[in-house]
Structure formats: C-alpha cells, structure tokens
C-alpha cells in the first residue's frame, strides 16, 4: 500500500484481503473517491484519521476488519462522524438521518493510531487472529476478489478477467510471497492508470519482450 504515496491522482483503490493494517500512505490521495479495504488487519478506527482530509472519498468498504469490533452501530456511527462525505459505507447507502445520529453516537477521531510491527507485508500482532476468525467459503471470497479486480480493470479500459483465469488471485493463499506477488500486480494496474499513450506503449513493448524471454525459457526447460 506504500505505493499509494506516489499516486496522488488515483481515484479507486482495491486492497481487500491483503493483510493491510496501516492507512497512512493514503492521506496524499486527494482524488480518491472509492476505497475497498474489506477483510484486512486494520485494528483501530483511529486509522480513519488518515482519510479525514480526502475531499472526494464517497465509497468506503471497511467491514470484516478488527476495528469494526462487536458493536456494528458504534462502528458505523464513528466512521460516518469522521467521514461525513461518504455516500456508501460497506455497500450500504448512507442516509441523512445516519449522519445526524453519528454526531451523537459516533466517536470523533483527532489523532492517528499507535503503530505496530509489520514485516514483509505480514502483520506481526496478536490482533491478526481477529481478522482471520471470520469464516467464509473460498468461493465467496474468490467471487468478491474477482469483482473488485475487474472493477480496476474496467477503470483502466481493460477486459474483465474470466473466473476460470482467476485462480492465481485466490485470497486463501497463506504464503506471504504469493500475497506480495498479488500486491505487486495490483500496484502495476494502479500505476498504469497514471500513464499516457506513450507510457503505455513503452509498458506494452517491455511486457512483450519479457514474455518472449519467459516463453523461450519454458520451451528450453521442456
């Protein structure tokens, strides 16, 4: 997620199910309008401190993080008190009544959270078990991840990924190397949106050469 520091113009970010615990890199994304962070390791609602100054943020999906706690009303009211410009929270539309109630029932966040140790993209905290406690079938997780990935591809003018080609993105992968690979792929897709025609052509040529090398290597190994 640190790549977001270099993407001030990014509008949509999808990082669900990626072991993310720190939202500080997002505070420079002034054009961000949609943020999908479902099922990560965000332990404290104080992380919302980094989203409070994002003027265009309208959609946030934060459910199934440890910070949601056991009181869904308090959680929702606190999010809406600190992010009153949201139009949709956790795939549920925000109402004027809720925004008014949030001023009473929500907790105002005025400071960032204290930091925890994170290494190689894997959370080193006992709180990580809370995020893993939610049971969900692999099919449901895959469908959700596929939907979000295809949303990014649609933003980039790319064709959607068929379900039968999506197995390599499975959110059940426990191996950190696989998670890092998926994070790199997401970062590349996000960065591509920042490129003009000339930049995309350079990427296309580079990818073409890389594929030729890899295919030649595979043929030699066979």
Decide: 148 and 16 in contact? Cβ < 8 Å: yes
> What is the rounded distance in angstroms from the CA atom of residue 65 to the CA atom of residue 2?
19
Q: Would you state the pLDDT for residue 163?
A: 62
Q: What pLDDT is recorded for position 167?
A: 42
- If one counts every other C-beta atom within 10 angstroms of the C-beta of residue 132, the result is 13
CA-CA-CA-CA dihedral for 33, 37, 38, 43, to nearest 10: -130
- Distance of alpha carbon 131 from alpha carbon 46, whole angstroms: 17
User: What is residue 148's predicted lDDT score, i.e. its pLDDT?
Assistant: 63
Tens of each residue's pLDDT in the chain, 222 residues: 788 888 888 888 888 888 898 999 999 899 999 999 999 999 999 999 999 999 999 999 999 999 999 999 999 999 999 999 999 999 899 999 999 999 999 999 998 887 654 443 443 343 334 344 444 444 544 555 566 666 666 666 666 766 655 444 444 444 555 666 666 676 777 777 777 888 788 888 888 887 888 777 777 776
Dist. CA 154–CA 15, nearest whole Å: 16
CA distance 109 to 150: 33
DSSP characters over 103-164: HHHSPPP-SPPPP--EETTEE-STTHHHHHT----HHHHHHHHHHHHHHHHHHTTPPPPPGG
Residue 190 falls in which region: left (phi positive, over 0), alpha (psi -120 to 50) or beta: alpha
Ramachandran sector of residue 221 (left: φ over 0; alpha: ψ -120 to 50; beta: rest) = alpha
Tokens of 40: 């990560």
The pLDDT score that the predictor gives to residue 121 is 42
Phi and psi, residue 119, nearest 5°? -135, 130
CB 195 within 8 A of CB 203: yes
Look up residue 14 and give its two tokens: 């999808």
- Do residues 169 and 163 lie in contact, with contact meaning Cβ atoms separated by under 8 Å? no
Q: How far apart are CA 181 and CA 134, in angstroms?
A: 24
Nearest to 60 by CA among 86, 78, 24: 86
- Quick one: pLDDT at residue 124? 39
């Amino acid at each position: 997620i640190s790549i977001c520091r270099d993407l001030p113009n990014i509008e949509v970010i999808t990082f669900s199910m990626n072991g993310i615990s720190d939202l500080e890199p997002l505070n420079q994304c002034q054009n961000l309008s949609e943020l999908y962070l479902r099922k990560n390791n965000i332990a404290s609602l104080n992380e919302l401190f980094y989203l409070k100054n994002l003027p265009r943020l309208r959609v946030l999906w934060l459910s199934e993080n440890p910070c949601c706690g056991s009181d869904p009303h308090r959680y929702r009211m606190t999010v809406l008190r600190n992010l009153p410009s949201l139009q949709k929270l956790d795939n549920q539309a925000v109402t004027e009544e809720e925004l008014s109630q949030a001023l009473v029932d929500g907790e105002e966040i005025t400071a960032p959270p204290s930091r925890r140790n994170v290494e190689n993209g894997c959370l080193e905290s006992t709180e990580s078990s809370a995020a893993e406690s939610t049971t969900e079938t692999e099919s449901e997780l895959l469908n959700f991840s596929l939907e979000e990935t295809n949303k990014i591809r649609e933003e980039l003018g790319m064709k959607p990924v068929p379900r039968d080609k999506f197995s390599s993105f499975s959110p059940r992968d426990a191996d950190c190397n696989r998670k890092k690979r998926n994070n790199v792929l997401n970062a590349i897709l996000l960065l591509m949106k920042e490129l003009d025609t000339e930049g995309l052509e350079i990427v296309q040529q580079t990818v073409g050469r890389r594929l030729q090398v890899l295919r030649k290597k595979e043929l030699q190994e066979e």
